[in-house]
Copies of this chain bind each other. A is one copy, B any other.
C-alpha cells in the first residue's frame, strides 16, 4: 500500500514521498525493511526512530523529527484514533479455511448461510442457524436452536448454549461461555444471607439449598465483542441481554437476567451479578464488581477495582470500595492519608486544653 493511500485513509497530512510502498506497520525498534511503516506517535517511540532505519513513519502533530530522517511521513492529530484505521488497513485476521471442515459435526437440520467457514471438530446442534459469512473456528459448540448472525467470528473453544441468539458481526474470542445456567438457589425458609442483610447476623442456616433452573436464554446484539474465557449466563425465565456494539473484555462474568445497553465497554475480570441493569455507553474499568439487582445509568464510568453496592446515576463517575462518586472517593483517600497528623494534632490540642484547665484552677 502506498504512503499516499494510507494518508488518505487516515485523512491526515502527508510529508515527503507518497509513492513509498508499505507492507507492515511496526514499532520503530521492529523495523526490518524499507516497506515497514514505523508508528512513532509518542515521545518514547519517536526517540527510537533515529536508530530504526525507518524510511516512513506515522507521527503526531507537534512531535517533530529531524529533517531528512524520513523519506515520507504522515502526521496525525489524534494518534489513538489513527490506530483504528492503521490496524484495519494492515489487519492480520486469524487463519480459517473456507467452507465446512469434514470433521465438523452438523445436525441434519442445522442451517448454514452462504460463505460460512466451519472449523475442525466444531459441533452445530439441531435447528441451529448460522448466518452468511460467519467464521466458526475449531472446537466451537453451538447448541440446539441457537441463532448466530452474519459475518461473526467465533474463536476456538467457545460454547454457545441452546436457544442463544447472537447478532451480526459479533466477535467471541477463545473459550467464551454463552448460556451457562445462572447461579440461582433458594432455601425453603429465609437463609443466612437474608438474615445477614436484615440483621447483620447469621440467625438461620442453609441446610437445604434448592436449584432455580435457568430456562431463559441470552440475546446478544450486533457488533458485540466478548473476550476470552468470559461467561454470560442465561436468564431465569427471560433473557440476559447485551446491547449492540457493547465490548466485553476477557474473564468477565455476566450473571443471569442482566441487561446491558449499547456501546458499553467492560474491562477484564469485571463481575456483574444477577439482574443488574446497565445503561448505554457505560464504562466499567478492570475488576469492577456490581452487586445484584442494581442499576447503572447511561454514560456512567466506574473506576478500576470498584465494588458497586448502590445504584449509579447517569453520567456519574464512581470509584472505591464501596464505590462512591469519584470526588468523594478521592477526598476519602486524602482524608485517610492525613489521619496521622490529625492524631498528632489531637494529642497536642489535648495538652493545650489541659494546660488551660490547670491555669484556670490556680
Instruction: Give chain A's interface residues, CB within 8 Å of chain B.
Output: 25-27, 29-30, 39, 78, 80-81, 83-84, 87-88, 90-92, 94-95, 101, 103, 105, 119-121, 123, 125-126, 137-139, 141, 143-144, 155-157, 159, 161-163, 171, 173-175, 177, 180-181, 183-189, 192-193, 196, 200-202, 205-215, 225, 227-231, 233, 236-238, 245, 247, 249-251, 253, 255, 263, 265, 267-269, 271, 273, 281, 283, 285-287, 289, 291, 299-301, 304-305, 307, 309, 315-317, 321-322, 326-328, 330-333, 335-340, 342-343, 345-346, 349-350, 352-353, 356-357, 359-360
- By a CB distance below 8 angstroms, the chain B residues around A273 are 267-268, 286, 304
| B229 near A175: Cβ-Cβ < 8 Å | yes
Contact between A231 and B215, CB atoms less than 8 A apart: no
A79–B181 Cα distance when bound, in Å, is 20
- Chain B residues near A350: list those with CB within 8 A: 345, 349
Task: Determine the chain B residues whose CB is within 8 A of the CB of A250 once the complex forms.
Answer: 177, 180, 183, 231, 233, 253
A101 CB to nearest chain B CB (Å): 8
Once the chains are docked, how many angstroms separate the CA of A88 from the CA of B250? 32
Contact A236 B87 (CB under 8 A): yes
Residues of B within 8 Å of A143, CB to CB, are 94-95
Of all chain B residues, which has the CB nearest A251? B253
Interchain Cβ contacts under 8 Å between A and B, 19 examples:
A27-B238, A30-B237, A78-B188, A81-B187, A95-B126, A138-B141, A157-B177, A174-B177, A180-B250, A200-B317, A200-B326, A229-B231, A231-B251, A231-B268, A233-B250, A269-B289, A322-B333, A335-B343, A342-B342
Provide the bound-state CA to CA distance between A336 and B320, in Å. Answer: 12
- For A27, what are the chain B residues with a Cβ–Cβ distance below 8 Å? 237-238
Evaluate contact between B162 and A139: CB separation under 8 angstroms.
no
> How many copies of this protein are present in the complex?
3
Q: B339 and A227: CB pair below 8 A?
A: no
A271 contacts B271, C-beta separation under 8 Å: no
In the assembled complex, which residues on chain B have CB atoms less than 8 Å from the CB atom of A352?
Answer: 353, 357
Task: Give A330's nearest chain B residue, CB to CB.
Answer: B200
Q: B residues within 8 A CB of A359?
A: 360
- Nearest B residue to A339 by beta-carbon distance? B335
Given A206-B265, A343-B335, the answer on whether A125 and B196 have CB atoms closer than 8 Å is: no
A119 near B126 with CB under 8 A, answer no
> Across the interface, do B215 and A90 meet the contact criterion of CB distance under 8 Å?
yes
Q: What is the CB-to-nearest-CB distance from A173 to chain B, in angstroms, rounded to a whole number?
A: 4
Contact B159 A175 (CB under 8 A): yes
Other A-B contacts than A304-B307, A335-B339, A349-B349, 11 sampled, CB-CB below 8 A, are: A25-B215, A120-B121, A139-B139, A141-B157, A181-B227, A183-B268, A205-B281, A211-B225, A291-B304, A321-B321, A349-B350
User: A53 to B151, alpha carbons, bound, how many Å?
Assistant: 38
CB distance from A328 to the nearest CB of B (A): 8
